[in-house]
Amino acid sequence: MIQVIYGENEYAVSTAVAELKATVGPPETREANTHSFVAPQVSLGELRAVCEAMPFLAERRLVVVEGLLSQYEPRQSRDASDSSQPQLGDWQKVETLPKAMPPTTTLAFVDGKLQETNPLLKLLRPLAEVRSCSKLKDDALARWAKEQVALRGGQVTPGALTLLTHLVGDDQRVLENEIEKLCLYAHGRPIVEEDVRLLVSDIGAANIFAAVDALLEERPAVAARLLHKLRDEDASLSRIIYMVQRQLRQDVLAKEGLEAGLKTEDIGKQLAIRPEFAVRRTVEQARRYPWERFRMLYQRLLDADLSVKRGQADEKLALDLLIGELTQRR
């Protein structure tokens, strides 16, 4: 069986992969029957050989390939015949994989946000179960958050639920952590707005991932909302630039680690990032964007910082200009 699990909702993607790992077998044999690869450090031939193996003291085996499809994302070009578009090479023969796989093997291709025109995704669609994981929005996000509270035996008032999702945003992993904290604090009584204001006050770390995502993905409305939110919470422009620059630096170091063949957990250790969600988000951002994009962001951040320090613009104007420049279409 082949599965393709992809999308911008990192929480949903990682949850789906965890569910697959749980089907492999008992914990004592799970590691021996689970194999992970990070693109581009695997060839079609190597993958076929691993998929052909039989499980060891278990009913199933799981093979996970991370980031392969994003290697072949179509580049923006006005010339449809542009030869610089990524070529599939040996992966053009990916349809040969199912014939080599015993029914005991599950092969999962895991990736972030992809275009529907991705050539490898097109080849895999007829062969695989494809799951696209979009971010939850508005009512769907509120329902999910309420379910998470109920799963922990808690209750939440409508006002507290609205405030919580407004403060944290659509990052389900961060939202789950905040719900866990609130349920423990409420200790059996309904969670109210005052609890949310008390415990979910420092949202800068939660929002900075979403803000950097919006800047990298050229979504000006979202970037403006998140960065102005940080500004309204008394974060200076220098502080905002520092937070964005710090995340970009981690993204760049993670990208170097990926190109060196390091696994996600090894990158987390190397960068001293402890929360698992933060490691995964950093690696995801590093994988999805080219070096040119990171270099451009660094230069724009430097320009904004200098414009304020030299008295050429006040902080609000500099922030608006920064958002506009960082999110302009290439």
Q: In the chain, what is the straight-line distance between the N-terminal and C-terminal CA atoms, in Å?
A: 39
Residue type, 192: V
Phi/psi of residue 328, nearest 5 degrees: -70, 145
CA 159 – CA 141 distance, rounded (Å): 15
Domains and their CATH numbers in the chain: 2-132 (3.40.50.300), 138-201 (1.10.8.60), 205-326 (1.20.272.10)
Residue type, 266: D
Quote the pLDDT of residue 76.
58
pLDDT tens-digit series, residues 216-233: 766 777 777 777 777 776
Beta strands in the chain (DSSP E): 2-6, 34-38, 61-66, 105-111, 129-132
Residue type, 134: S
Q: Which residue has the tokens 């613009």?
A: 313
Quote the pLDDT of residue 61.
92
Quote the pLDDT of residue 234.
60
Quote the pLDDT of residue 328.
61
Quote the pLDDT of residue 78.
44
CA 245 – CA 305 distance, rounded (Å): 11
User: What are the per-10-residue average pLDDT scores of the chain (330 residues)?
Assistant: 91 90 85 87 89 88 91 67 68 88 93 90 93 89 95 93 81 86 92 86 57 71 74 69 80 91 87 71 82 82 80 77 66
Quote the pLDDT of residue 288.
79
Phi/psi of residue 128, nearest 5 degrees: -135, 165
